[in-house]
Chains A and B, each alone.
Chain A
Amino acid sequence: MSNKKVGAVLVVGGGVAGIQASLDLADSGFRVYLLDQSPSIGGVMAQLDKTFPTNDCSMCILSPKLVATGRHPNITIVTNAEITGLDGEAGDFKVKIKKRSRYVIEEKCNGCGICAQKCPVEAVDRFNEGLSNRNAVFVEYPQAVPLKYMIDREKCIGCGTCYEVCKAGAIKYDQKDSETTLNVGSIILAPGFEPFDARLKSEYGYGRFKNVVTSIEFERILSASGPYGGLVLRPSDGEIPKKIAFIQCVGSRDYQLGNTYCSAACCMYGMKEAVIAKEHTPSPLDATIFYMDMRAYGKEFDAYYERAQGEWGIRFVRSRVAGVTEDPRTGNLVIHYVENETPKTEEFDMIVLSIGMHPPKNIEKLASTLGVQLNKYKFCQTNTFAPTETSKPGIFVCGAFSAPKDIPESVAQASGAAAKAMEVIASERGTLVTAKEYPPERDVSKEEPRIGVFVCHCGINIGGVVNVPEVVEYAKKLPHVVYAEANVYTCSQDTQKLIKEKIQQNNLNRVIVASCTPRTHEPLFRETVQESGLNPYLFEMTNIRDQCSWVHMHEPKEATEKAKDLVRSIVAKAALLKPLKKPRINVTPVGLVIGGGVSGMTAALELARQGFEVHLVEREKELGGHLRSIHYLLEGNENPQERLKALINAVNENSKIHVYTETQVTEVSGFVGNFKSKLHQNNGEEKEIEHGVVIVATGAVEYKPTEYLYGKDPRVMTQHELEEKIANGQFKAKNIVMIQCVGARNDERPNCARVCCGQAIKNALKIKEKDPDAEVYVLYKDMRAYGFKEDHYREAATKGVLFVNYSDERKPQVVNDNGTLKVTFYEPIIGKEIEIEPDALVLSAATIPNPDNKRLAEMLKVPLTKDGFFLEAHMKLRPVDFATDGVFLCGMAHSPKYIDESIAQACAAAARATTILAKDTLEMEGIIANVSEDLCSGCRICEPICPYGAIEMKDKNGKLVAHVIEALCKGCGACGTACPTKAITMGHFTNEEILAQVRAALVEVKA
């Protein structure tokens, strides 16, 4: 057995999960090969229009990650590729790769697209789900990474035109498929999923009735860059529907087809598609969702569900859909469904089938090549305590391939898998990477401003409303502007190259991009500018998408005028821009993990195994947190208490982890890379520690019910108390009623507590296992047994557990009638009130935020949600990051979740933290406050105004002056505004710059 280890990782699958894993690995000092079987990365997320629950534009949030992946010096993207063989073992794998020919030399193709324009052959565009055509030479979508064309050999007739027109000489008809072997230390599988083939559900008419479309087709229909330009149209006649229906669970929870699991994301995307369809339709659109259970179990999902019903007026019909028929004259569709055992019909203009997630195509072949076990559904086999590990050491899994899941869960799991993949080869960190080098900075201080303006069409996002060529012509005439042009997508990889060329050719010393939001795209353009030798702060951006084409969609003329105003005004500012320095700070390679539950312990262990020292702080006497009260699992036969013991032992035995029990963090100061915290132990001891990152893993608590006689009648208990009793053998009741959503999904706490449905099923099954004659009723609002949990729900029902739906209007009633516990509830199927006298009433009490969250949040300067859980930086793509650098979160502190989800998130937080700890120094933001010590009067007005504690007073030659701690300053500028002597200037936002911008915004400069 060799001890050789290789500091490289192969990531299989370039969807959002594979991208996230690649970025985390590459940022932590490992070389990454990102393999995808298609010609470009992006996966299904690239096809989506908007994302729930924030309704963010999918492409807009994905694109910066695509570009970052494409340009990362440590990531090699291998497209059109598949794995054909595997040798070796964890730490030193040799992976055989077959790469299908593109017939285009990737190094030469610059993505200009002239070949596709001239290609005489059309083919079905699979990216648009067949709703439009593409050419035989193509890219999958305009922002594809890598932006390299490919010839569809099946369709190409070999006329030779592309070769003739390609200016770059990139076409190569005799390019052969190639084979190569990659040497990597570990492998991450992120091949995603295959959308269900709706034809198999023939009773819904897909493929026969034109106006029945799948949800993924509907995403393309909704997309502004999709086939219908973002208008919802009926495929049968191009009319805008007035009445649209969504049928849920198509290819999921289906016992006839054998797809018994729940696809986990469809309830939310169905709702989102209904909401967006209404927004995209100029005339009133009536939207109805036919569902079995509305599984809005994720963070803030129920709030979205509430809005969908209220604000957006979407109708929800709990029913089973038997079939769909078509009126051939009108193309309208009739849904035949059963609601409360009553057969009904209703006519619609259009139907969307919310199709489920199936295992990736040909996955059995890959699994057998790699020696990885699949579960009975042909998804990857994992287990609760190792959610990112496959059956083969050194090979990890993330995303929908481990179980159907949504984007944030995939992203968190991806970072988690990255942590595990790094762990195998932690000793090889930094051995195979190349540092990003920028050319020396050009001194522009003596030059007159020479401004270049790049105006983005954003496909039709901007160009469909704003007259972009007109804006470009206008910009050309503005003072100091020496160059202006329009781009289809200014953010695409090829445009970055182009901007650099234009900077050189025109000797530009200021660059402006007029496109979308700087929030997502400014770092990309700054880097581009820096790569051409300019200081990155000689770049400015103005948002003509959100502020012009989106808000003034129906007034194109005015939108164009406004875009000109914005460009004029930013040009005026840009002329005054000064180069800024980015301070570098050292990193203390130590982690602080707050909370010693399963999440905190996992995160601490992961960091320690990456080679970093960790302080693990637990308030209670013992480690273990919430897991201490879990005695058996819903999924799998592992013993949670044994696993807990093993975990605690691993933590205690790891010399890099310092455990502090009965201890609280009382003060955190400092900043990313350089935190100082005070620990207060219950015995009165104080300790100060230094660390580079903080991971918040403080968990959550069980709600103590005030309803249903809890605390007043000994027969009433919570699910946890029930579990404890069953585990101790004390539970003897024969007649049990469980009530779901106690303390959740109500006015006070609108969101779902996620785990209680699983708990109820788990405990009901346990009761039935011990005593098959016991009567168990579960009174629920929606049974949210998502993913593979659905099978257990089914099992419970089969074993005689009675599930009865209740609504908020008719909640169950519980009374103690002279010592007899009575539960009355309405049974909707028979339409009658039922009274039961149970000997145990079990309340599925919500998981609610840790009451200590508020104190911690203030201490760490991080936000909480309305509910009181910690709020991450971005709900979709940054699930374990805070907006504050160096602070991360995981587990139930984020929101209620199951053990496997907490563990995946804990590993994710560790991976994200590693991207900081693995670096010797960090480069900070350059836009910070600056004090002119000559002007400063030492009045101290600024000091308390700074919310980040970035200003301290210093003695300067006997005079007290304000001093800015560079690494802490976030650049808000509040101090400068307050300074009575105007001693504080804000870099990049000086008074002169802002005023120039304002003046130009208001004064029409005749061009």
Chain B
Amino acid sequence: MIFRPKIVAFMCHWSLPPEIDVSTPSLIRGYPKIRIVKTMCAGRIDPAIVMETFLKGADGVLVVGCHSPDCHYVDGNTQAERKVKMLKRLIRLTGFDPERLRLEWANASEIENLARIINHFRNQVASLGASPLTSGESNSDVVINIKAAKAVAENFTLRLLVGREKEMTENANVYGDKVSQEEFDRLLEETLEAEFIRHKIHQLITEKPMSVKEIAAETHMEPSQTLCHIVNMRRKNMITLDHVKGTTPLYKALEAH
């Protein structure tokens, strides 16, 4: 049997051909596993929703917004672009293939273009095979990673940074200085890495307390680096010392940090 990938396509109201609501056979004929979710603007696509979509078993997520100057909401499309860029970086950290997420531009009259986009993405995802999240193993590394990534996407710090990116890189920060894209990307990358690993640790020790060495082995990190994260996670009340076994302290996650 040929693999038919499950794809969720988030499409903006204005890039969605009117006929698609009725049924646009030419567009999605032959793709019974494509689900189109409509939003008013691609800028609405919340990174956390995308992560949840993957967690729920999508093999691919497609986001379609309007071409650059055509956004009905001034710059919702570029907002979407920043979010997807951040998401791809985040997904890269999880071992999940970032190619399963794609952002494309189209407008409502470009039915053929849209058909090409969908077809292309479908083939791309098909070649990647079924999402590792659909294997049914609830504790596999990739499941934990994606859960952590989802928590990162919901995290205040990240949402804040992405939200302020445009203003700071294109206009000016509060001191009247323009932040270069490189500088911003560097900070974003650092923050993503730190937040991802901390949320992953949080996931790992939610079920049972673990030591620094055990966490380091699970996360493929130096134990010294792991300890630094543990220290900062304690500072932020994400985790606590559970007990000391011999000469080994074991930490556990705290709820609702």
Contact = CB atoms under 8 A, between A and B. Distances in A.
Nearest to A130: B228
Contacts of A174: 175
A160 interface: yes
A163 B248 CA distance: 42
B160 A158 contact: no
Interface string B226-257: 11101110110000010010111100000000
A229 interface: yes
B160 A236 contact: no
B154 to A, nearest CB: 14
Given A132-B235, A158-B177, A237 B213 contact: yes
A238 B160 contact: no
A257 interface: no
| Of A231, A239, A241, A242, most B-chain CB atoms within 10 Å | A239
A238 B241 contact: no
B164 interface: yes
B224 A236 contact: yes
A210 B168 contact: no
Interface in A226-283: 227-229, 231, 233, 235-242, 282-283
Nearest to B211: A238
Contact of B230 (A118, A238, A239): A238
Contact of B160 (A161, A231, A237, A240): A161
Contacts of B212: 237-239
A233 B249 contact: yes
A859 B216 CA distance: 67
B224 A239 contact: no
Interface string B171-215: 001110101000110010001001000000000000000011100
A56 interface: no
A122 interface: yes
B227 A238 contact: yes
A210 B174 contact: no
B224 A158 contact: no
B173 A133 contact: no
Interface in B18-40: none
A160 B247 contact: no
A158 B173 contact: yes
A1 interface: no
B187 to A, nearest CB: 6
B164 A159 contact: yes
A772 B114 CA distance: 102
Interface in A195-210: 210
A431 B140 CA distance: 75
A240 B212 CA distance: 11
Contact of A163 (B157, B174, B249): B174
B161 interface: yes
B223 interface: yes
A242 B247 contact: yes
A282 B243 CA distance: 11
B230 A229 contact: no
A121 interface: yes
Contact of A236 (B173, B223, B235): B223
A947 interface: no
A118 B157 CA distance: 7
Nearest to A285: B247
Given A120-B160, A122-B232, A157 B249 contact: no
A241 to B, nearest CB: 7
Given A132-B235, A159-B164, A240 B244 contact: yes
Contacts of A227: 231, 235
Nearest to B216: A237
B3 interface: no
A142 to B, nearest CB: 11
A857 interface: no
A173 interface: yes
A131 interface: yes
> Interface residue tally of chain B, by bracket?
35 or more
Given A133-B235, A237-B212, A159 B227 contact: no
A160 B230 contact: no
| Of B211, B226, B232, B247, most A-chain CB atoms within 10 Å | B247
B163 to A, nearest CB: 9
A132 B248 CA distance: 20
Contact of B249 (A160, A240, A242): A240
Nearest to B248: A239
A157 B231 CA distance: 24
A227 B231 CA distance: 6
Contacts of B216: 237
Interface string A210-227: 100000000000000001
Contacts of B157: 120
B161 A240 contact: no
Nearest to A283: B247
Contact of B244 (A121, A231, A236): A231
Contacts of A237: 212-213, 216, 223-224, 227
Contacts of B164: 159-161
Contacts of B211: 238-239
Nearest to B178: A158
Contacts of A118: 156, 160
Contact of A282 (B227, B232, B244): B244
B2 to A, nearest CB: 46
B214 to A, nearest CB: 10
Contacts of A160: 164, 173-174
Contacts of B224: 210, 235-237
Nearest to B241: A229
Given A118-B156, A283-B247, A173 B175 contact: yes
A174 B184 CA distance: 22
Contacts of B232: 122, 132-133
A228 B223 CA distance: 15
B244 A159 contact: no
| Of A121, A158, A242, A283, most B-chain CB atoms within 10 Å | A158
A131 B246 CA distance: 24
A131 B231 CA distance: 8
Interface in B147-165: 156-158, 160-161, 164
A367 to B, nearest CB: 35
Given A157-B168, A242-B247, 5 more contacts: A120-B160, A157-B184, A158-B179, A238-B211, A240-B248
Interface of A: 118, 120-122, 131-133, 157-161, 163, 173-174, 210, 227-229, 231, 233, 235-242, 282-283
24 contacts: A120-B161, A121-B187, A132-B231, A132-B235, A133-B232, A157-B179, A158-B168, A158-B177, A158-B179, A159-B160, A159-B164, A159-B168, A159-B173, A163-B174, A174-B175, A229-B234, A231-B244, A235-B224, A237-B212, A238-B226, A239-B211, A239-B212, A239-B249, A240-B248
Interface of B: 156-158, 160-161, 164, 168, 173-175, 177, 179, 183-184, 187, 191, 194, 211-213, 216, 223-224, 226-228, 230-232, 234-235, 241, 244, 246-249
Nearest 8 interchain pairs by C-beta = A158-B173, A238-B212, A237-B223, A240-B247, A238-B227, A120-B157, A158-B174, A160-B174
